[in-house]
Amino acid sequence: MEHLGDLESKLAGKNVLVRLDVNVPIDADASEDVLSESIKAHPRIQNIVPTLEAILEHTHKVMIAAHLGRPCGKVVEGLSLRPVGAVLAELLDREVVLLDHYLDEPPALFLKTLSQRQILLLENLRFFPGEKTADRAFASHLCSGMDVYINDAFGVCHRVHASTVTIPQWLGKENSFAGAALVEEVRVLDGLLRAPASPLCVLMGGAKVSDKMGALLSVIDKARWVLLGGAMAYPFLQAQGYMKLPESTSAKELKDVELARMVLAHAKERHVELVLPQDHVVAREFSATATPCITQDSCIPEGMMGMDIGPQSCDLYASYISRAKTVLWNGPVGVCEWPSFAAGSLAMAQAIAQNSGITVVGGGDSLALVLKHGLASQITHLSCGGGAMLDYLEHRDLPALKELSPFRSFYGEL
Ligand code: AMP
C-alpha cells in the first residue's frame, strides 16, 4: 500500500483515467435491487472502491474506463455499464455520469462540464473494435487531455488492449500507475511463486486444459501436492492408461495428453505428488439431466464421460488440503453449473475454506462457487483474474504490468 501514498501526491487537480475491472455477472432477469446487491457484493467491485476513494481525495476529475462481457466490437444493450455505474455511485456517494457516445470528441472534454460531486464512466470499451485491437488512434482519442492513468484491473492485465497497453504507452510510464487491488494481486501471486508457506497444495480443474499446463508446470516447482480434477484430469488419466483415447480424439486433445506426460515427468523429477481422481461421477451424455453414476476406481468406462470427481476422491483431496499451509485453487473439479455434478467442487471449496493457512482462489467458476456458498470470508485471497492469474503464474509478468512505473518499482522491492 505504501506505493499508493506515492501515487496520491501525483494526483492533485489532475485529470485521471482509471482502467477498472468491473466485469461481473449481470443477471438480466433479476430485479433492480437484487442485481444491484449482487454487483455490490462481487470482489471485483469491492476491491476497486479503496482505489477510487483514494483518487477522489485528491482530484474529482476522474474518468473510469472498463468493459463488460464480450460484445465483440458492437453495441449490445444488455452489456451496458449502466447498472455498474449505479452501484459505484452508491458506494462512492458521487454521481456517476455514463458517457455512451465518446468517439466524436475526446471524452476529457466532458470532464470539464462535471461538478465536484460527479465522475465520468465511459460506456463499455468493448463496444468499439479499437479496444481489443489495441488501436493507437482509439487509445490516443481516449486519453487525449488526460494527465494520469491508473490501472486497477488485474483481470485484463494479460490482454494487449487499447486500455491496458496502448493508453499507458501514450501517456508514458512516468504517468501510468498501478492501483491498490492490482498491487495486492501481484503481491499474493508473487509470494506464492517465491516462497509459499510449505507444504503448498495446488488444486487445478476446469476445462481449458492447454491454457493451464504452463501455470501448472511453473507452480509444480513450489508445490508438494498437485491435485487435478475436472476436464483437466482427463489427459493425465489418458496418459496413464486409465482412460481410453476415443477414436474421435482431436489433434488438440492428443497434444494435451503429450503435455500431460511432460508434466507427469516433471513432477516425478521434482518429487512432487501429482494426484488424480480415484473415482468419478460419470454420465452417458453431457447434460444437466443426465443420470449420474459413480465409478469404482480411476477408470472411466467406455461410452461414459467424466462429469465430477467421486466421493472417495473428495475425501482424499480434502485430506491433502487440510494438511497444507498454502492452498492454490483454480478451476472447478466438475461441471459445477449443474447440481448433479457440483458436489465435488463444493466439497473442495469447503475444504479450502476450513484450511487455516494461506488460501488463494482464482478463476470465474471457483470464485462464483465460493461466493454462492458464503465462503468468501474464509479465503485469504480471492483473485479476480482467471486468465490473468494463470498467465502471471506461468510468466511472472503480464503485458499491461510492463507499462506501469510505480508498479515496477514496487515489484522490484517485493
Ligand atoms: P475453466 O474456465 O478452465 O476453469 O473451466 C471451467 C469450466 O469447466 C466450467 O464451466 C465447468 O463446467 C467445466 N468443467 C469442469 N469439469 C468438467 C468436466 N469433467 N467435463 C467438462 N467440463 C468440465
Peptide bond preceding 71 in cis form (omega within 30 of 0): no
Q: How far is the CA of 218 from the centre of ligand 1 (A)?
A: 21
* Closest CA to ligand 1's atom 12: 335
Closest atom, ligand 1, to C-alpha of 306: 19
Substitution site in 212, 228, 336 for ligand 1 pocket (most atoms within 8 Å of beta carbon): 336
**pLDDT value for 6:** 60
Catalytically active residues, by annotation: 44, 208, 364, 387
Substitution site in 335, 389, 391, 393 for ligand 1 pocket (most atoms within 8 Å of beta carbon): 335
Nearest-angstrom CA–CA distance, 109 and 190: 39
> pLDDT tens, 133-142?
999 999 999 9
Nearest-angstrom CA–CA distance, 392 and 404: 16
Closest atom, ligand 1, to C-alpha of 336: 12
Q: State yes or no: pLDDT of 412 exceeds 50.
A: no
Closest atom, ligand 1, to C-alpha of 330: 4
> pLDDT tens, 252-302?
889 999 999 999 999 999 999 999 999 999 999 999 999 999 999 999 988
Q: State yes or no: pLDDT of 175 exceeds 60.
A: yes
Q: What is the average pLDDT across 333-343?
A: 97
Q: How far is the CA of 335 from the centre of ligand 1 (A)?
A: 5
Closest atom, ligand 1, to C-alpha of 365: 6
Q: How far is the CA of 23 from the centre of ligand 1 (A)?
A: 20
* Closest CA to ligand 1's atom 21: 231
Cell of 352: 479450502
Ligand 1 binding residues, C-beta < 6 A = 205-208, 230-231, 306-307, 331-332, 334-337, 363, 365
Contact predicate 273/224, CB 8 Å:
yes
> pLDDT tens, 301-327?
888 999 999 999 999 999 999 999 999
Q: State yes or no: pLDDT of 7 exceeds 90.
A: no
C-alpha dihedral (58, 62, 66, 68), degrees to nearest 10: 110
Q: How far is the CA of 282 from the centre of ligand 1 (A)?
A: 14
Q: How far is the CA of 204 from the centre of ligand 1 (A)?
A: 11
Q: How far is the CA of 229 from the centre of ligand 1 (A)?
A: 9
The pLDDT confidence band at residue 128, using thresholds 50, 70 and 90, is very high
Contacts of 200 (CB under 8 A, 6+ apart): 192, 219, 222, 223, 224, 225, 324, 325, 326, 327, 328
Closest atom, ligand 1, to C-alpha of 307: 19
Q: What is the average pLDDT across 110-131?
A: 96
What sign results for the dihedral spanned by CA atoms 132, 133, 138, 143? positive
